[in-house]
Amino acid sequence: MEFVPRHQCFLYDGSPALNVPCLGKAIREMLSRNYRCVYLNSEPMADAMQAYLAGAGVNVEREMERSSLILSSERGHLVNGRFFDLNGMLAGLTAALEQALEDGFAGLFATGDMSWEFGPEADFSELMEYEWKLEEFFESHPQLSGICQYHANSLPAEVMQQGLTAHPAIFVNEELSLPNPHFDHPRLAKSSF
């Protein structure tokens, strides 16, 4: 059976800007498959992704007008703009997938930086529960695909380890994703492959 990664982790160090090309190529590929693509990150990173995609030949203005491309630094899932809301994040993702399908897209592709997503309080106490619920959501919604970005220079080592064990696939670059031998979901790890 061919391995088709849909919930991937991308563990990296160094400047996040260095990863814009490989993530941008993944976005371009998903746009070509008629997926709505959402990139969640800081404003400078969203701007960098927009510039990369435009330079790579994507008609960014047109794709944003038709809502096939969403580059966002909004943090509506945070409580009081500071605290990560697990249920709010999952509800937002559910609504985004439903809307993408209703709008005629084949599915939803989302990628976000975890240090940005968890907000300024950087309370990662719900990270594993969030990733496990997210994996269950991926399992039950084949139209969803995504990459969770884990930046070693801004996240504690234990968060990096949790990120590694919570994903069935590892994103290496736009052309290579691998089954994750460290994947350890309490209900799904045994049946994922």
Q: How far apart are CA 159 and CA 115, in angstroms?
A: 10
What are the residues whose beta carbons fall under 8 Å from the beta carbon of 44, sequence distance 6 or more? none
Per residue in 52-62, pLDDT tens?
Answer: 999 999 999 99
| Closest C-alpha among 109, 112, 115, 29 to residue 72 | 112
Question: Residues 51, 52, 57, 62: is their CA dihedral positive or negative?
Answer: negative
Q: How far apart are CA 109 and CA 123, in angstroms?
A: 25
What are the residues whose beta carbons fall under 8 Å from the beta carbon of 97, sequence distance 6 or more? 107, 108, 141, 143, 144
State the chain's mean pLDDT as an integer. Answer: 87
Overall average pLDDT of the 134-153 stretch:
93
pLDDT for position 191? 43
pLDDT for position 123? 74
By percentage, how much of the chain surpasses pLDDT 70?
Answer: 87
Output the CA–CA distances (angstroms, integers) from residue 24 to 46, 64, 89, 182, in the order listed.
Answer: 11, 15, 23, 26
Q: Give the E-state strand segments of the chain in sequence order.
A: 7-12, 35-40, 69-72, 78-79, 83-84, 107-113, 144-151, 169-173, 176-179
pLDDT for position 175? 85
Q: Are 60 and 69 in contact (CB under 8 A)?
A: yes
| Closest C-alpha among 10, 23, 31 to residue 108 | 31
- Of 31-40, 124-133, 184-193, the range with the lowest mean pLDDT is 184-193
Whether 81 shows a pLDDT value over 70: the answer reads no
Whether the model pTM is above 0.95: no
